Amino acid sequence: MAPTPDIDGMSLPDLKALVAQLLERLADQERTIIALRDENARLKGQKGRPDIKPPIKPSGMDKASQPPKGPRRGGGNKTAKRVIHEERIIKALVPPGSRFKGYESFVVQDLVLRPHVIRFRRERWLTPDGETIIAPLPGGVRGHFGAELRRFVLVQHHQGQVTVARLVTQLRAIGIDVSKRQVMRMLIGGQEQFVAEARDVLRAGLATAAWISVDDTGARHKGKNGFCTQIGNDHFAWFGTTGSKSRLNFLELLRAGYSDYVINDQALGYMRGRALSGPVIAQLAAQADRHFADAKAWIEHLQRLGIPDLKVTPDPICIATEGALWGSVMAHGFLRDSVIVSDDAGQFDVGLHALCRVDGDVTVPIPHSPGRANFPHPVLHERASLAAA
């Protein structure tokens, strides 16, 4: 063992060198102690320290969700494509005798959030006949809030996930005189065009899709428990919240906004597949009336035929209504030769139905056939294999 050095007689550089040497020895001893502890734990059959690996490289999903950046080219004017909303001339303090050489541009982007209140002074006239005529408001004006404010509220709430309470606080901080009830009305009132757009998306998807995936989950709407049903594929997605998750409910959703009931070959085939009584099917097929505008007209038709009075199994009202709904779906050109992919939930077992299992094995049962025989669908098998891989 080396003798202890005389610290009092050492110079400052020698002391620094000694401290560095001692720190290095201390680090070596700590590593040795850790290795001995791990070896001791291994010999005792215990778990050693966890092997902490370097952090996993990011998957790139965040980058994939961002718009691709175009190639940057040097030498160009980066502000040439920006729309200039305001120009300000800044005077310079120059000595006498200076010559003016034009302007040097400097573009600044800014955001203006402030209330913009408009008072429309509408002309009011009294005709010789005693009728009062008031000039109409410009197009796009609905209520006492402008289109830009309504657009801002919709974007903040639906796209920005801003709650109603925070949205009210935000608007008031900007200077907008608004209440919570008025914000709610802007969010849910007069949105028929969005409802129509969602309906048109569903209709286009059901009319053109080779396959659709469907599923439902519990949801709460207007203070009541309900169910949200998803319908879509790689090209479209649609969601609808209802109070039921029955097959009747699913068939009603597949009508995509239509309210009619139709008795056609597809409807009668559905009823046979669901084991509806043969005399009931024959009675429905023999009627001249095959198209019914709404549920009221359909129920009145069944009552005229006396079908609600039948006490048989399965329920003739339920199966006949399901068949008429399926006939409506087919009559509007939806799901022709399309495959409905779902889990094994019974409410989705209509038409050409495929079961998507966790292991990636996908088979398509023959619709409503005895014993639920299966046959493979090559397109779905290929998609499932890619997903499982």
**Mean pLDDT, residues 108-126 taken together:** 91
Q: Does 181 map to a domain?
A: yes
Q: Does 168 map to a domain?
A: yes
pLDDT tens track for 13-36: 888 888 888 888 888 888 899 888
Calculate helix-pair angle for 180-188, 164-174, nearest 10 degrees: 110
Q: Does 316 map to a domain?
A: no
Whether 206 shows a pLDDT value over 90: the answer reads yes
Which pLDDT score is estimated for 264? 94
Q: Does 174 map to a domain?
A: yes
Domains contained in the chain, number: 1
Q: Does 169 map to a domain?
A: yes
pLDDT tens track for 35-58: 888 888 878 777 666 665 555 455
Please give the Cα distance from 37 to 49 (Å, whole number).
Answer: 9
Which pLDDT score is estimated for 72? 56
Please give the Cα distance from 367 to 189 (Å, whole number).
Answer: 42
Both tokens of residue 15?
A: 């002391």
pLDDT tens track for 284-318: 999 999 999 999 999 999 999 999 888 888 889 99
SS3 276: coil
Q: Does 171 map to a domain?
A: yes
Which pLDDT score is estimated for 99? 92
Please give the Cα distance from 326 to 251 (Å, whole number).
Answer: 6
Q: Does 153 map to a domain?
A: yes
Across the chain, mean pLDDT equals 82
Pick from 283, 257, 250: nearest CA to 351:
250
Residue type, 169: T
Please give the Cα distance from 200 to 190 (Å, whole number).
Answer: 18
Instruction: Indicate the pTM of the whole model.
Output: 0.57
pLDDT tens track for 339-362: 999 887 889 989 888 876 545 444
Q: Does 150 map to a domain?
A: yes
Which domain covers residue 149, as residue numbers?
A: 140-188
Which pLDDT score is estimated for 70? 58
Whether 68 shows a pLDDT value over 90: the answer reads no
